Amino acid sequence: MIALLALVVLIYWGLSRNHRRQLRPTAFNGPPDRDLERLVADLRALN
């Protein structure tokens, strides 16, 4: 019974940790957004 409770707590902790990380992604969380870079470059070219 205690092992089942510990398993449930660990699963909940892992899911909540994953959810928090997705809300606040780190700066190095994958390749850069090329569409955003292109948009910024186009807006700078207009000025």
- 1-47 pLDDT per residue, tens: 999 999 999 999 999 988 877 766 555 666 777 888 898 899 899 87
pLDDT for res 27 = 58
Structure tokens at 42: 């186009």
Dihedral angle sign, alpha carbons of residues 12, 13, 16, 22: negative
Number of domains in the chain: 1
Which domain range does residue 38 map to? 1-46
CA-based Rg of the chain, rounded to a whole angstrom?
20
**pLDDT for 24:** 61
State how far the Cα of 9 lies from the Cα of 1, in Å rounded to an integer.
13
